[in-house]
Structure 1
Amino acid sequence: MSSDAPVGARPPAGKTFFGHPRALSTLFLTEMWERFSFYGMRAILVLYLTAAVADGGLDLGESSANAVYGTYNAMVYLMALPGGWVADRLIGARRSVLWGGVVIAAGHYVMAIPTGWSVFVGMALIVLGTGLLKPNISTMVGDLYERDSPRRDAGFSIFYMGINLGAFIAPLITGFLGEKINWHLGFGAAAVGMTFGVLQYVLGRRNLGEAGARPADPLLGADRRRALTRVGVASVVVLAVLLVLLVAGWFTVDTVVNLLTVVTVLVTVGYFARILTDREISGTERSRMKAYVWLFLFAASFWLIYDQAGSVLNIFAADQTDRSVGGFTFPASWLQSVNPILIIIGAPLAAALWLKLGHRVSTPTKFAVGLVLNGLSFVLMAAAAQAAVGGDLVSPLWLVAVYAIQVAGELSLSPVGLSATTKLAPVKYASQMLGLWFLATAVGDAIGGQVARLAGTWSQPVYFLTFGLASVVLGLAAVMFTRQIRHLMAGIH
């Protein structure tokens, strides 16, 4: 391993996993079950929120439901930032992943309780648990490779298959249980999935060696006590704000959603400012962070569109597609499995492609391709929406085609972005940088949740076409900045 490898690297030698370190299999399966629980719940969340009370739902309007969905996703990824800090400074990545999985499982079990309040309490727990698990398990994957190894992108692409295997299976199970039997039964199935994930992680820990065993930059003595005091004060402030909103009668879904959107953007700006002005990072690390700002903006723009699959496109699937096959109407949430199965097929091909191309295609170029393809998917979606004007039900193959284009874009950006983050990260901010990468999704989802409100006021063809063309234009603009970004990356490809 290179001298700048993160603390906790060097898993034990021995059997390999698809030609990669054996430890990758433990992390692969843990992430698979965590994504089963997450995507299983997410596939039915908006449908549950918009379902009539008589059908067991909460009867929220589509505009508010889309905003809740986007903000929930944003909070899941926003909490990755403090989750990375906890691992870096307090307990290490390995224990962060374990405790994160336990809290996530608890959240899903709470959602299985058949009451309205249980869903929001459960989502809060899932947000906290995912913040601990998500960035730190990816950091541990990065620990398995040298920082600038071409095999690193291939390893992350295989890891990405685990994500999508869980995401493929989950909607088929939770969707059927939720839409056909009982919504809370669907949420309960997600809880069982996360329980399997925790058990698998504990049983497979012997494969991990020293990966993630210790904090990268531990706080000790007075510094540790000071940090924990600040965390306590911040928690009290948050609770006080929520109490004020409640007493003043402002504690509504829309108020909380809007507040959390603003917080997400402000946290992002503040955190980038903190890293870029930190005198303890070198000039080279600062230059790489400047390059990362551009990649971050591209990624946030990508997720703004992409993650509407579970909200705007999910509602389109429920209301405007013909889902009857042989007299059986399959659940709308089943279409959420199309995206991950295409990624399962495409990820090995992408891994092989990046390995073959090596450093000939730069990271910024891959990001630009992702943005263009993402935009083209919404352009196609505009055509599907136009075909549905007048109340006609359209073939679900429209959505299959849209997801296929998005998958090609995702494989150009997401696993590559994970790898780029671990390569560009200042050593001091190793796990926190993975949190910052997931913060790109948080910003995209938070703003995307607000943007999705327009789907209820604009005509659908105009809505999809506007944001689709915007993404294409941004992708083409990204190509123009590729050389400058590569220069800032200071030798990292």
Structure 2
Amino acid sequence: MSRTETHVASASGPPPEDDRAFFGQPKGLLTLSGLEVRERFSFLGMQAVLVSRPTTTRLCPSAAGRRANAAPMPAVAVPTPTMTWVGLGLISAGAGLLKPNVAAMVGKPYRTDDDRRDADFALYCMAINIGAFAGPLVTGRLDDHKGWHWGFSAAAIGMTFGLVQYVAGRRHLAGRRHTAEFALAPDSPTLECARAGGPPSRRVIRLIAIGVVLGGLSFLLLVLPTSGHPGDDQLMSAWWIVGSYLLLGLGDILLETSGMSATTKLAPAAFSSQTMSLWYLSFALAGGIQAQTVKLYDDVSKPAYFGVNGAIAVAAGLAVTEAAPWLRRTMHPVH
């Protein structure tokens, strides 16, 4: 028998496959998801107050990040320009320290072939969306009726609660460090697949491709109501926007859950957080590219703007599908 083992410091708590306390997932996910709800509430709530989007660095993962992201919020809430800029800088550093570490910890308690990992990340992404939805609503209302420092204060309180929850629930995270074992018997189908170039990772590749295509379709949908209106004063039904965001949201969920799950499976054990940082780096690069692309919005026709952006995304999704055989070989043993 051929056997590959990766040993991580074991701790108290039930074996990961027996820990199903939180919707069938390890109870540590409740702590991490709660932390993510409050982090997104605070970060995107702060963005709603600022209106513009600050650039966030996510390239410096460290265990300290789970605490570092709470510190900047009170600084931003202090009504002086200096403290505001200090707080924004600390927020960039804190988000960079926190996000990759938390995402890496979400995928820790599973064997590579454990299908629960995908459901784990689905719950985790749901927590992200809950915080992202609630944050701008609460802080935006406070900004409108009480002032922008009230909005920043709400973000600070939210992140403080997240830190308290993490400290109180981190004992559940100890069970997420365990001994992972991946065994291959000489006559096992998995080994035969590996000899043939890896197991068929069709599900992950298919979901990622569908997610990208849906994102492109969300842009292409807006070509229809904007066609035939040369000016910028045309009106369209709000349902076009709803449909576009629905497609974009579905695509984002498929891409993020499958992508993050696959990233934690492929990451070397000693560099899980750094590998997840590369995943977040792709979002930063995409945001930078889009920030330049959006400058063309007023210089070209609306159908051309939405059509070209959508076509590029759909083409990228189809390219992922065409590259599936090669990706399956390089993504072994991701299922």
Same fold at TM > 0.5: yes
Residue 178 of structure 1 is matched in structure 2 by 143
**CA distance change for structure 1 residues 399 and 33 in 2, over 3 Å: closer, same or farther?**
same
Displaced runs of 4 or more, over 6 A: none
Q: Is the 8 A contact 1:160 1:415 kept in 2?
A: yes
Q: Is the 8 A contact 1:8 1:210 kept in 2?
A: no
Equivalent residue in structure 2 for 1:441, among 263, 266, 283: 283
Residue 195 of structure 1 is matched in structure 2 by 160
Amino acid at match of 2:114: S
Residue 310 of structure 2 is matched in structure 1 by 468
Residue 143 of structure 1 is matched in structure 2 by 108
Residue 272 of structure 1 is matched in structure 2 by none
User: C-alpha distance in 2, partners of 1:6/1:372?
Assistant: 39
CA-atom RMSD, angstroms?
Answer: 2.8
User: C-alpha distance in 2, partners of 1:477/1:179?
Assistant: 45
Q: Is the 8 A contact 1:5 1:143 kept in 2?
A: no
Q: Is the 8 A contact 1:142 1:419 kept in 2?
A: yes
Equivalent residue in structure 2 for 1:30, among 29, 35, 49: 35
Amino acid at match of 1:42: Q
Residue 362 of structure 1 is matched in structure 2 by 203
User: C-alpha distance in 1, partners of 2:240/2:231?
Assistant: 14
Residue 7 of structure 1 is matched in structure 2 by 8
**CA distance change for structure 1 residues 186 and 395 in 2, over 3 Å: closer, same or farther?**
farther
Amino acid at match of 1:82: C
Residue 349 of structure 1 is matched in structure 2 by none
Residue 98 of structure 1 is matched in structure 2 by 66
User: C-alpha distance in 2, partners of 1:465/1:9?
Assistant: 52
Q: Is the 8 A contact 2:221 2:244 kept in 1?
A: yes
Structure 2 SS opposite 1:195: helix
Q: Is the 8 A contact 1:6 1:427 kept in 2?
A: no
Q: Is 1:82 matched with 2:83?
A: no
Q: Is the 8 A contact 2:66 2:102 kept in 1?
A: no
Residue 208 of structure 1 is matched in structure 2 by 173
**CA distance change for structure 1 residues 360 and 108 in 2, over 3 Å: closer, same or farther?**
same
**CA distance change for structure 1 residues 131 and 360 in 2, over 3 Å: closer, same or farther?**
closer
Amino acid at match of 1:378: F
Amino acid at match of 2:124: F
**CA distance change for structure 1 residues 11 and 409 in 2, over 3 Å: closer, same or farther?**
farther
Residue 92 of structure 2 is matched in structure 1 by 127
User: C-alpha distance in 1, partners of 2:93/2:43?
Assistant: 13
**CA distance change for structure 1 residues 397 and 185 in 2, over 3 Å: closer, same or farther?**
farther
Residue 191 of structure 2 is matched in structure 1 by none
TM-score, scaled relative to structure 2: 0.82
User: C-alpha distance in 2, partners of 1:483/1:377?
Assistant: 27
Q: Is 1:166 matched with 2:131?
A: yes
Output one character per residue of 1:333-355: Cα deviation in whole Å (capped at 9) or x when no partner. xxxxxxxxxxxxxxxxxxxxxxx
Amino acid at match of 2:286: G
Q: Is the 8 A contact 2:73 2:153 kept in 1?
A: yes
Q: Is the 8 A contact 1:388 1:394 kept in 2?
A: no
Q: Is 1:379 matched with 2:225?
A: no
Return the offset for 1:186: 2.0
Return the offset for 1:117: 5.4
Amino acid at match of 1:380: L
Output one character per residue of 1:215-269: Cα deviation in whole Å (capped at 9) or x when no partner. xxxxxxxxxxxxxxxxxxxxxxxxxxxxxxxxxxxxxxxxxxxxxxxxxxxxxxx
User: C-alpha distance in 1, partners of 2:33/2:230?
Assistant: 40
Return the offset for 1:404: 0.6
User: C-alpha distance in 1, partners of 2:28/2:286?
Assistant: 32
Return the offset for 1:377: 0.6
Identical counterparts, % of pairs: 40
Q: Is the 8 A contact 2:109 2:177 kept in 1?
A: no
Return the offset for 1:454: 2.0
Output one character per residue of 1:426-477: Cα deviation in whole Å (capped at 9) or x when no partner. 2332221111111111111122222222224334332222111111112112
Q: Is 1:41 matched with 2:46?
A: yes
Q: Is 1:418 matched with 2:260?
A: yes
**CA distance change for structure 1 residues 119 and 489 in 2, over 3 Å: closer, same or farther?**
same
- Any gaps of 5 or more consecutive residues in structure 1? 50-68, 88-92, 214-286, 292-358
Amino acid at match of 1:16: A
Amino acid at match of 1:105: A
Output one character per residue of 1:141-177: Cα deviation in whole Å (capped at 9) or x when no partner. 1112112211111111112111111112112111222
Structure 2 SS opposite 1:7: coil
Return the offset for 1:375: 0.6
Range with bigger deviation, 110-119 or 131-140: 110-119
Output one character per residue of 1:357-390: Cα deviation in whole Å (capped at 9) or x when no partner. xx77432222211111101111123445557944
Return the offset for 1:486: 0.5
Amino acid at match of 1:438: Y
User: C-alpha distance in 2, partners of 1:149/1:192?
Assistant: 37
User: C-alpha distance in 1, partners of 2:208/2:125?
Assistant: 17
**CA distance change for structure 1 residues 206 and 383 in 2, over 3 Å: closer, same or farther?**
same
Give the total of aligned pairs. Answer: 309
Return the offset for 1:492: 2.2
Structure 2 SS opposite 1:82: coil
Structure 2 SS opposite 1:16: coil
- Any gaps of 5 or more consecutive residues in structure 2? 179-193
User: C-alpha distance in 2, partners of 1:381/1:120?
Assistant: 38
Q: Is 1:429 matched with 2:282?
A: no
